[in-house]
Amino acid sequence: MLDTLKKNPKFAGRRGPVVLLIMDGVGLGKYPDGDAVKAAYTPELDKLLKSCPNTSLKAHGTAVGMPSDDDMGNSEVGHNAIGCGRVFAQGAKLVDDAVTGKAVFAGETWKKLIANVMEHNSTLHFIGLFSDGNVHSNIAHLRAMIEEAKSRNVKKVRIHILLDGRDVPETSALEYVEPFEAFLAAQNCGGFDYRIASGGGRMVITMDRYGANWDMVRKGWETHVQGKGRYFKNAVEAITELRISSKAIDQDLPPFVISDDGVNPVGPIVDHDSVIFYNFRGDRAQEITNAFEDDNFEHFDRGCRPDVVYAGMMEYDGDLHVPKLFLVEPPAIDRTVGEFLCANGIKQLAISETQKFGHVTYFYNGNRAGKFNQDLEEYIEIKSDIVPFEQRPWMKSAEITDTVCTAIESGKYRFIRLNLPNGDMVGHTGNFAAVITAMGAVDLSVGRIAEAVRDAGGVLVISADHGNADDMFEHSKDGSIKLDKNGVATRKTSHSLNPVPCIVFDPESKGEYKNELRPGLGISSLGATCIELLGLEPPEDYDPSLLIMQ
């Protein structure tokens, strides 16, 4: 049990709640062209930026625990940083260190996976996101594991690739597949048989999260495990033909299975095989893991579940210990904002729609699935629509806002945190017009929540977890827009490296702190800031508050 935080002698807090509003994927753009945040009609945000203390916050790279400042931030590491008030080395860095230093290959899980294959003369399978986006996975880790498997004399390897086009350019799949096929061909001498066996777009198969659409996982199971689907001779042929027939970008490409004869798949997963799900990020890894591991699985008919040795790249849920076997220890995050507030008896509400519900709960709480205190915490999930996000860019912003405004008016909660996913989820589609609509919906919500906070005498802190909607076109190093062969701007579907805004709306301010926010900090400083606004002193090891007390 944590010690309680001391009362802040310089600031007693307000009569109303502190509300932390995360505008997911809304950054401060570097280029005017392609900045859907600036292009949108956002009078409420504009008004608050002109009248309230505000600053920019770092939300990528080392500021959120990624290996380098070339790495984009993401919602997982962003909410970790916001919720724990300081920066921890994240999955990308931990896995990279373990793989490059070869510690992962000395671990008992790797040894068990290899021993199983060698004992049964069976197949080692890899499933995961096939890019170097470094948000969910990195293809460099896959290459290193395949090379190590060969050094251990593993004769047969099959790779099941989930096409990205979301954390990397939207039609870049062949830029990864073609050199990887050459890499595999170089391994295939002396009786080794290493091949891509199946694949499909990450937003179509396998990588669902928060139970939003289990049918994605069913499709992935049938594709990877059962080898059912449309057959192609190789992945290049599959991607090329499916792009023409579906007119989809990589993340939305239909599933495919590789078959030499058009009858038999080259790599179904069968009894005695070993399987590694090589994504290090947990949210989109848990459901396929459940399909492999759960004895009482009810989400779809798995048929005859193969008896395999299954492992994840990391532990995806530290409370539920999912998966049972994993290759790299996850970051040990403790002493989060939510836990401290529970220790101080502060009633809290966390709310978003399904797409980001786990971010304001699990990730915000340091990768913890359960509550710290059942009596002091309430979590509300608004069910997301299962439609392409560009077709409904307002998403569930109105429903989230309705619930938050009611909660503010009720006086039940001292701290409320919410996530509006629009800027990120719609931003990933690359549809500029849809993102403008999405930002309009976010702005309407901001205005309504600000009014409720004003009436209740509270404080509203507005920020984001990373950028996305602020950078919708690919740019060259000189700042010019990259054009396709038709002279049209190349869409960008990945996160940006831009900072994010932070606004403190405190309508009953009595001048306890300066009318400016401390510059040069990252989103991890939101933790100490919210604690101070609640009238408490932040822990000494938290990153500094944005408030400059008088």
| 75 sits in which H/E element | helix 75-84
- pLDDT for the residue 321: 87
Q: Above 90 in pLDDT, residue 337?
A: yes
Task: Tell me: pLDDT of 351 over 90.
Answer: yes
Classify 3 in phi/psi space as left (phi over 0), alpha (psi -120 to 50) or beta: beta
Report which of 313, 359, 314, 350 is spatially closest to residue 332, judged by C-alpha positions. Answer: 314
Residue 324 pLDDT > 90: yes
Residues 487-506, mean pLDDT to the nearest whole number: 95
State pLDDT tens for residues 44-89.
999 999 999 999 999 999 999 998 999 999 999 999 999 999 999 8
Cβ neighbours around 266 below 10 Å, total: 19
For residues 173 and 157, what is the distance between their CA atoms, to the nearest angstrom? 21
How far are the Cα atoms of 71, 121, 481 from residue 471, in angstroms, in the given order? 15, 49, 11
**Model confidence pLDDT, tens digit, residues 154-187:** 999 999 999 999 999 999 999 999 999 999 999 9
pLDDT surpassing 90 at residue 477:
no
Active site residue: 51, 56, 68, 75, which one? 75
Q: What is the pLDDT of residue 153?
A: 97
Of the candidates 127, 158, 67, the one whose C-alpha atom is nearest the C-alpha of residue 279 is 127
User: Is the pLDDT score of 331 beyond 90?
Assistant: no
CA gap 527, 57 in Å, rounded: 13
Report whether 75 contacts 59 (CB < 8 A): no
Helix axes 91-100, 139-151, angle to 10 degrees: 30
Q: 223: which DSSP letter?
A: I
Q: What is the pLDDT of residue 361?
A: 97
Q: In which element (H, E) is residue 125 found?
A: strand 124-129
pLDDT reading at 1 higher than 80? no
**115: phi > 0 → left, psi -120 to 50 → alpha, else beta; which?**
alpha
Task: Give the N- to C-terminal CA distance of the chain in Å, as an integer.
Answer: 33
- The whole-number pLDDT of residue 174 equals 98
CA 207 remoteness from chain centre = 11
Name the pTM for this structure.
Answer: 0.86
Which pLDDT does position 230 carry in this prediction?
A: 98
Rounded to the nearest integer, the mean pLDDT of the chain is 96
Instruction: Report pLDDT for 318.
Output: 79
* Residue 13 near residue 457 (C-beta atoms within 8 A): no
Higher pLDDT among residues 228 and 488, named by residue: 228
Instruction: List, for residues 399-442, the tens digit of each pLDDT value.
Output: 999 999 999 999 999 999 999 999 999 999 999 999 999 999 99
Strand, coil or helix: 274 = strand
500-505 and 54-57 beta bridge pairing: antiparallel
Residue 137 annotated as catalytic:
no
Residue 91: predicted pLDDT:
87
- What pLDDT was estimated at residue 179? 98
Cis peptide upstream of residue 323 (ω within 30 degrees of 0): yes
Residues 6+ apart with CB under 8 A from 6: 536, 537
- pLDDT score at 320: 81
